Amino acid sequence: MSTSPSPTPSEAFELLLAGNRRFTAGSSEHPNQDAARRTETAPAQRPFAVLFGCSDSRLAAEIIFDRGLGDLFVVRTAGHVAGPEVLGSIEYAVSVLDCPLVVVLGHDTCGAVGAARAALTDGVGATGYVRDVIERVTTSVLAARAAGLTDENDIIAEHIRHTVDLLLDRSRVIADQVTAGRTAVVGLSYRLADGSARVVTTHGLPGEAAF
């Protein structure tokens, strides 16, 4: 692996956003996807960002952010619900791999959010472990309702914010990394139709208004 210094949280965020801009413009460069990169990353990994996103098949992280091998540490669950395994995976990335950026990635027309809304409105439930996913998302939907939010995109944004807050509240490791300025946590909302990622919330980025 390269011995170059790790990027700062702001630099890592700009790397990610730049890749998404290339993707939406149809000018993806497909970096770090060749045999040389495969050989370089075989001994060890130094990803510059953790991508915790929804499992939706349309959110392939390395594609929509135009990155390659060894760039992103990807964790995905339906509705980006976070249990102990997720928290442990992200803690590993920031404390052992020194990732300077954690991104929570949600998206419009999220099935998990839609199912939680239906369960609250119509009493439409689910069986098995799918119900557990819906119940975890329901907390965000209730918070959105309490805030008077009714638009689907606003509710999805609230769910993204809730997930970001959960990571910082439940993980002392992540929170301490942010406090020390070594890591930032960002919430992004992805738009399926145009491929763009919109900033919802940030923690630990200096000069955040620039984004």
Per-residue pLDDT tens digits for 1-10: 455 678 999 9
Predicted pLDDT of residue 121: 85
Q: How many residues does the chain have?
A: 211
Cβ 159 vs Cβ 140: under 8 Å = yes
- Residue 104 backbone phi and psi in degrees, to 5: -100, 120
Dump pLDDT digits (tens) for 145-156. Answer: 999 999 999 999
Dump pLDDT digits (tens) for 116-136. Answer: 999 888 877 778 999 999 999
Dihedral sign computed on CA atoms, order 152, 154, 156, 162: negative
Which class for 33: exposed (0-12), middle (13-18), buried (19 or more C-beta within 10 A)? middle
Distance CA 145, CA 34 (A): 47
Distance CA 16, CA 10 (A): 10
The token pair at 30 is 């497909």
Q: Would you tell me how many other CB atoms lie within 10 Å of the CB of residue 175?
A: 17
Between strands 101-107 and 184-190, the pairing is parallel
Closest CA to 15 of 104, 105, 101: 101
Statement: the pTM of the whole predicted model exceeds 0.85: yes
Which residues in 91-136 belong to E strands, given as ranges? 101-107
Between strands 184-190 and 72-77, the pairing is unpaired
